[in-house]
Structure 1
Amino acid sequence: MRPLLVALPSLVASLVASLVVATAPAAHAEPVELGGVRVDLRPGTTQVVTVDHTRGTRATVSLWRLTASGWKRQLTTRDGRTGYGGLVRGDRRVQGTGTTPLGTYGLTSTFGTHGRDARARLPHHRIRRGDFWVQDNASPHYNRLRNQRDGGFRWWLPSSHPDSSERLTDYPRQYEWSIVTDFNVEQVRRRGSGIFLHVNGRGATAGCVSAPRRTIRALVRLLDPARVPVIGIGR
């Protein structure tokens, strides 16, 4: 995604940092299979979103919760979408290929065109003018949310440039509500950035996972950091 220009007030800056700077993934617990998708659980994980690729760029997206009697599906949709370039192992993904990374990733925060939902628990950032998700491989802010006013990346590069970043306000439909994953939190250059779970557009994504608005809206309200939520993406 693409960067911003002005320095944020300290309070907002702290919030943005908590949204996008995730710690390295924790050691995995025993894997489980949910809805046909292998999920590498993290210690404490009791909430899982699965993305089960069905055909083309379509997928079934479901939310699971661990109960006293085992894993139970809370909601599901067959109208999920994946990247136009297909699916690829996360450690083999290349920026700009339109591929969705297979594997398990944390769900760390949300952002969107609205303010924080009173029922939501994950940290939230309301998109404002100049906000970008940085895809500039030369920037120390690679794969981070940043405002162009803060500098540190080449926000002015055209979309045709391989180091151009994503201006969040350019996608008011898809990013009305969006959930951030910790894919490539280590900032491996050219692996790609800004892999989100967001509202469906008109078709395939550029590598993210998308689902109908009502599904994403429900997930924003239901995901709880205390449950260490993760997303498992499979074939």
Structure 2
Amino acid sequence: MPMTHRTTHPATDGTATAAGSPVRAVRAGPGVPPAALLSAVAAVLFALAAPAPAATASSVHRIPLPALMADTGGGDQLITARAPTTRATTGTVRWWQRHNGRWRQAGSAPARFGAGGLTEGGTRVQGTSTTPTGLYDLPFAFGTAPPPPGTASPYRRVGADSWWCEDNASASYNRWVAPLPPDCAAGESERLADHPTQYARALVIGFNYHRPVHGRGAGIFLHVNGKGATAGCVSVPAGAMARILAWVRPSAHPHIAIGTAYGPTALTRY
């Protein structure tokens, strides 16, 4: 909560108000008309009755975003991906580090979201090109390019037979597979090597990953920008993706929170 600033008055002759704040006693000097004395007394009383200044928008803005959130995943690293509204396809990704109980921003980058905007992750429908809002873990990283120096996350190199199964009828739904299993149709899945720019480097977002609900969506990643909006992922410039991968530490239990500035999908709800 923002602190409320109170105006204090220096003590003079020990005269105090009922609230305990010392004030200067008002005395009439020789020749001071009664009207002037009453005016001075009224000014003092008005000053004492005035409310303390409210916290400004700038003071609230200085509070780190993770400190305003309902949950950050319990770790010491957090990525936030925030869009202005659910209809937006652009926004900002920031990554945060907690040290001695305090969150500090470690970096930021412009972000892109799904062509269909954003939607609540718990009710998302596959094929809508929407980015799911919510708080998710980051199971592992992958890419067609080598991991950047300093990468600590498990990193899988994309090969010719690397696929992400998105076939709702498959037992491998929402999983990396290599090669494609017989029950996973190629037309319903994504061959990762076909997207060398976007998947040069990426982090798997744990949306619908640990207990997949068929039909909710598969293959949601934080990856490198393509030519425009995504099919439901979050994307950032290549340089930012490299910095994020070099920064993420599995021992810090990193998570990503996706949401909007306001409303039912506000980032602070997650």
Asked which structure has the greater RCO (Cα within 8 Å, sep 6+), the reply is 1
Partner of 1:64: 96
2:100 is matched by which residue type in structure 1? Answer: A
1:94 is matched by which residue type in structure 2? Answer: V
Measured after TM superposition, the shift of residue 33 of structure 1 is 6.9
CA RMSD of aligned residues (A): 1.9
CA distance in 2, matches of 1:203, 1:35: 28
1:188 is paired with a residue whose SS is coil
Unmatched 5+ stretches in structure 2: 1-62, 261-270
- Conservation of the 8 A alpha-carbon contact between 1:61 and 1:76: yes
Partner of 1:75: 107
Partner of 1:170: 194
Measured after TM superposition, the shift of residue 169 of structure 1 is 1.0
Cα 1:40/1:184, change in 2 over 3 Å: same
Measured after TM superposition, the shift of residue 38 of structure 1 is 3.5
Unmatched 5+ stretches in structure 1: 1-31, 158-163
CA distance in 2, matches of 1:206, 1:118: 29
User: Aligned match of 2:208 in 172, 184, 194?
Assistant: 184
2:130 is matched by which residue type in structure 1? Answer: T
Measured after TM superposition, the shift of residue 121 of structure 1 is 0.8
Measured after TM superposition, the shift of residue 198 of structure 1 is 0.3
Cα 1:61/1:149, change in 2 over 3 Å: closer
Cα deviation 1:93-137 (Å, max 9, x = unaligned): 000000000110001210001234441111010000021111000
CA distance in 1, matches of 2:258, 2:91: 10
Query: What's the TM-score, normalizing by structure 1?
Result: 0.78
Measured after TM superposition, the shift of residue 36 of structure 1 is 9.5
- Conservation of the 8 A alpha-carbon contact between 1:37 and 1:234: no
Query: What's the TM-score, normalizing by structure 2?
Result: 0.68
Partner of 2:169: 138
Cα 1:149/1:210, change in 2 over 3 Å: closer
1:128 to 2:159 alignment: yes
1:205 to 2:236 alignment: no
Q: Write 1 or 2 for the structure with the bigger share of helix.
A: 2
Task: Decide which structure has the larger Cα Rg and report it.
Answer: 2
CA distance in 2, matches of 1:212, 1:83: 15
Measured after TM superposition, the shift of residue 148 of structure 1 is 3.1
1:67 is matched by which residue type in structure 2? Answer: H
2:191 is matched by which residue type in structure 1? Answer: R
CA distance in 2, matches of 1:223, 1:154: 33
Q: Write 1 or 2 for the structure with the bigger share of strand.
A: 1
